[in-house]
Chain A
Amino acid sequence: MSWTGRFLRALDNPIVAKDGISRMRSWRAPLAITLYLGLLGAFGFGIFSIEVLSSSYSRPVSAQIGAAVFGALAWFQLVLICLFAPALASASISGERERQTFDVLLVSGVSAFGIVWGKLLASLAYMYLLIVSALPLFAAVFLFGGVDLEQFTLVQVITVVTASSIGAVSLLCSALFRRTLTSTVSSYGASFALVAGTAVAGVILSYIKVLGQAAGGLEPHPLLFANPFYALNTILTQPSGNPIHAGRLLQLLFLARGRSSDWGPQLEPWQLSIAIMLIAGLLSIVASVLLVRGRRASLPFRRPRAAVVAQ
């Protein structure tokens, strides 16, 4: 089969349609969208009101209001996605086990990759629906100005990649643990580690780097680049970017001192953040496939054993 055919077949995954139908027929689906948009809208309106009230004496330009509301919405959306994504993906496979439908799925013609891919796509599709449904709220900010299209696009890309990455990690937890409760708790743990853990560790390591140094400013440790909120912050506060050489990145990673290395391509923080999250997501998918495949008798390294002749 050609690669195009494989790609089309991968998209035509029956699990996506089945999970989509099941999810959208439950009362939780419209409730979650309502809650998501309601919270986002209320938060955006709150920030807008505060900006208008606080600026009534200083007469700011509307662009400042637009930028402030946009930034607040972007931050809050990322927070919501970090909260929603584990909940949506962490029951994907463990739920099948608890429902006692997993064995039947395993003996069907769907491959281990097909199961994992289908489950991930089904979870992500709903998260993407949430993100897309919030676009009109973001678009409203354009009425005020202060936000360029590149910023707007990058914010949405960061949000989508974060949702995908957390979704993939949550799916791994779901494949790893038999119980949905355990899977959900560990997914939130992983999400928290990605968001808060990298921020705290990154800041601490950044300060360790400058300790004892006579001169030189504070430079962010590369661990911070794994943090989607840091990437979001650079997009919102430094639209022109703050590129860093790959060589300097490695220096900072290992807390090496000395002259700044300037070899390698220059990378924006958001590019690094996206790359790190995509790698984490891909590794999670591979690990999930291996775990699901391990549930069958067809593990490649088990084949010789399974076919052993009677003793």
Chain B
Amino acid sequence: MISVEQLGKRYGRQVAVADVSFSVPKGEIFGFVGPNGAGKTTTIRVLATLTPADRGRATVGGIAVGEDPAAVRALVGYMPDFFGVYDRLTSEEYLEFYAACHGVPRGRRRKVASELLELVDLGDRREAQVDTLSRGMKQRLCLARALVHDPSVLLLDEPASGLDPRARVEMRELIQELRRMGKTILVSSHILPELEELCTWVGFIDRGRMVAVGPMADVRDRVASGRRLRVDLVQPDEDSLLHVTELVRNREGVVDAQVIDDHVELTVNDAFADHELLALLVNKGLKVRSFGVVEGDLSEAFMRLTGDHHS
């Protein structure tokens, strides 16, 4: 549904996006992850037809963004990272205004606004002026605004930034509801645990380049997990833990071995046979309480992929 191929964009001498390629299948929620200044917003702005790309190709629904921006705008609902509202309008008038901008027939505008206000749980605030709404309500209203023309693709740039935990949960549930409605959603965020729960696909961007992209489970497994092992002893005293690290440190495939709090963590590569380690420890008389693979999370994957440049 969304396809970006070798996108490049610079502002003067500043490279905003160097080489970004990814695609998002229809009906998926794509988490666009990267540190500040990585190029997320620029990429989203290119997809939203707001910024022309210097090179590369971006398509939405098979339509090239640069060739038919009006058709792309009809397909896309865009929610920027920073946005304002028209304070003196009521919530309903606000949505009706954007419905009119998108060419929704006059007779349907009130109904569209009403349905969207119900969807974002602002049905009881339809007569309230926008400046009286809380930040979370304004975020939801802005999301409703992006939906007035029933787009099939949503570009959400940091939709949960600045929200309190409760509002974040509400926003997350809303995005999941939109996916159930068949929308394809690209969402950028720094709040990685939320993306992990929300997204089905993920792409990591750093310094204007994609460093990993694919289905969430694949990327997580590929980048973060499976190569760290945790060893817990029955009696985790310092000597025993150090003994474990000395035993394994020089074995083939072991990259690193460290005592962390009351357990040992090993970083190993593909050449390492996990079962041999367990046999070795037991044979050496160490009482192993548990032995297993450390499940990686998105934060860890993010740190690993971007850590080299930023550390």
A residues at B contact (CB < 8 Å) = 14-15, 17-18, 21-22, 25-26, 99-101, 103-110, 295-299, 302-303, 305-311
Contacts and interface: CB of A to CB of B under 8 A. Distances in A.
B93 interface: yes
Given A14-B97, A108-B73, A297-B49, 14 more contacts: A17-B97, A18-B97, A26-B88, A103-B48, A103-B83, A104-B83, A104-B98, A107-B48, A298-B49, A302-B66, A308-B56, A308-B57, A310-B57, A311-B55
A22 B88 contact: yes
B89 A100 contact: no
B198 to A, nearest CB: 23
Interface string B1-27: 000011010000000000000000000
Given A25-B88, A306-B52, A107 B78 contact: yes
Most buried by B among A14, A104, A299: A104
Nearest to A298: B69
Nearest to B148: A108
Given A104-B78, A104-B83, A299-B52, A21 B93 contact: yes
A303 B49 CA distance: 12
B193 interface: no
B18 to A, nearest CB: 12
Nearest to A26: B88
A106 B69 CA distance: 11
A26 B45 CA distance: 33
A302 B76 CA distance: 21
B108 interface: no
Looking at chain A's contact residues, is the secondary structure mostly helix, strand, loop, or mixed? loop
B207 interface: no
Contacts of A109: 70, 73-74, 101-103, 149
10 contacts: A17-B100, A18-B89, A103-B78, A107-B49, A109-B74, A109-B102, A299-B52, A302-B52, A306-B53, A306-B66
A297 B88 contact: no
B67 A303 contact: yes
B84 A99 contact: yes
Interface of B: 5-6, 8, 45-46, 48-57, 64-67, 69-70, 73-74, 76, 78, 80, 82-89, 93, 97-98, 100-103, 145, 149
A303 B65 CA distance: 10
B73 A309 contact: no
A101 B86 CA distance: 8
A105 B102 CA distance: 10
Contacts of A107: 48-50, 73, 76, 78
B98 A108 contact: yes
B6 A104 contact: no
Nearest to B80: A103
Contacts of B8: 311
Contacts of A105: 101
B84 A101 contact: yes
A209 B76 CA distance: 62
B149 A21 contact: no
A172 B173 CA distance: 44
Given A21-B89, A22-B88, A100-B82, A297 B51 contact: yes
Given A101-B85, A101-B86, A105-B101, A310 B52 contact: no
A307 B64 contact: yes
Most buried by A among B50, B80, B83, B102: B50
Contacts of A308: 53, 55-57, 66
Contacts of B101: 14-15, 105, 108-110
A296 B82 contact: no
Contacts of B88: 21-22, 25-26
A101 B69 contact: no
Nearest to B45: A103
Contacts of A14: 97, 100-101
Nearest to A23: B88
A305 B57 contact: no
Contacts of B70: 109, 298
B85 to A, nearest CB: 7
B245 to A, nearest CB: 48
B89 A297 contact: no
Contacts of A21: 88-89, 93
Contacts of B65: 297, 306
A307 B5 CA distance: 11
A212 to B, nearest CB: 54
Given A109-B149, A307-B57, A307-B64, A297 B80 contact: no
A18 B86 contact: yes
A306 B67 contact: yes
A301 to B, nearest CB: 11
B145 A296 contact: no
Contacts of B45: 103
A109 B48 CA distance: 12
A309 B97 contact: no
A303 B83 contact: no
Contacts of B49: 107, 296-298
A189 B46 CA distance: 36
A17 B56 CA distance: 40
